[in-house]
Structure 1
Amino acid sequence: MTQLQFSLDMDVLKESVMNSNIETVIKSAIVLVLNEFMEKERDEYLQATSYERSTERRDYRNGYYERDLTMSIGKLTLKVPRTRNGEFSPSVFEKYARCDQAFVLSMLEMVVNGVSTRKVTHIVEQLCGENVSKSFVSSLTQKLDPIMNEWANRSLNTTYYPYVFVDAMYIKVREHQSVVSKAIYIATAITEDDKREILGLSVDHVESYESWSRFFQHLKSRGLQSPKLIISDAHQGLQKAIQREFIGTSWQRCNVHFKRNIFDKLPKKDSTEIRFMIKRVFEAITVEDIRKFKDELMEQFSGISKYEKALQILDEGFEDTIQYMNFPEPIRKHIRSTNSLERLNQEVRRRETVIRIFPNTQSAFRLVGAVLMEYQKTNYEKRKSLSK
């Protein structure tokens, strides 16, 4: 280990104390210490001090070059000693590279948590006293790309997912000098061990049959096997894509969305009784009761014009909305709606709202993917702590 016996230029340090503020004093002191540290490291590497003759000498001194080191107190300009063969490298920069990495990771975490690039830039300037461009912060976030791509393309063939949830949300992206709306597709699942997992995401131009088909084909290319049930809203293109890509898989229309569609068609006044009976239908425990209660409701209120549209929606979508009743009772409450995916979308939306408009599609994929990865990791850690 290098033993340091500092011989500092006290005149330089004194001048800093007399004529500068405390930050400059601290910077000057650190520069002097680090320069001396690197000088001693070079002596140790060469196995000879200045002007010393030694048979064990490994190389010769070759002056200095300047290099900046950014620390929490700001940018320091150091005199880095070098050797003729160029193989000597001081440990100062290697050591503080770990700090740099931690700093970069902190910046990435800020971005993932929804802090805008502008605010991140401001925080960096407050910490380091350096002007940092938005493009510099953006380039740092690209460090997430390899991690994101590996996660987004990981194999799905080692686990069977009997229940899959899919949904789309919309974001704003800048494209060709214009701001356009794009759809983000997200898929989650429940395993046979009742564990929730995020399967993947995609960013596409619009929510359509073609785009949903591409998303499903990507999941299948990664090894996703046909699930027993897919739960989603009633988007026609989505339904068609499910039928095309997953032959033999049942489709469960989100129970919550379905009831909301029915209630929206009911008059606000004088509809208490029918609302109560609709809730009664979907609170039934057996498939026999749920059909019985539905038939009773239709018989009692059919022919009443103000209920006609609501009853039509109920009748047409009823079978697709009770598919969960064909599965074991303990799992039913988890698969009858997309509520779990809606909560995940809200978490994404909370971060996305801060940014408002993504500079490009890749940045949107990067942020949403990072949020999903963090969400899954957090839930995994919670389950692990509860199981102890």
Structure 2
Amino acid sequence: MARKNDTPQKAAMRELMSGYLKQNNVKIKDGTDVNAIMRDMMSVILEGALDEEMNEELGYSKYDYRNKETDNSRNGHSQKTMHTSYGDMEIDIPRDRKGEYEPQVVKKYQNTVTQDMEEKILSMYAKGMTTHDIESHMRELYDIDISDSTISRITDKILPIVKEWQERPLEEIYAVVFLDAVHFHVRSEGRIVKQAVYIAIGIDMSGRKDVLGMYVGQNESAKFWLS
């Protein structure tokens, strides 16, 4: 369900994560539309991690009042603007009534999503990511010591979103398909290497857009696109 302050594009992204991206009637016209998709995908992952952080802080998940052992409780969300290489995005930060919750994946005064964080989030959506891969990415997103159980719970929160997106049904025919790649410099085995996240976006016969797939490769090449 869309949140109160969601933009139409971000509300459509939430539907995509539930397998209903085809209901989004916004056409891909240029790179600006692609950037909007990237921002919304990042915001969904970050908000999922923040919601699970709040569960950890309070000791019970939303609506699970039977396991509530604290006099603290959730108090809605506040919005925060984050700067990314794809433009500014709004994310919802959960609040508690006592003001004791301190976000960790997006810290209190942090207003920039680093390129390394962007690469890890987009990799989660790429085809073939395993539970271990996603858990490793989530661990690297936190630059503080955090327990294995907390990472596992956050991974469990994120994994269904990623898996549902990876396994959702596609249309049989697309009128137009856009192919592009986003390049990142990442640290691998002590070296900085360049990797590409390949993106395929289709417009179906009704004019609706659909992200067909995302694939991680070493670099952009005709051979990789052909495969």
In terms of fraction of residues, the more strand-rich structure is 2
Which structure is richer in relative contact order (CA contacts within 8 A, separation 6 or more)? 2
In terms of fraction of residues, the more helix-rich structure is 1
Establish whether TM, by shorter chain, passes 0.5: no
Q: TM-score, normalised by structure 2?
A: 0.37
- Which protein shows a greater Rg? 1
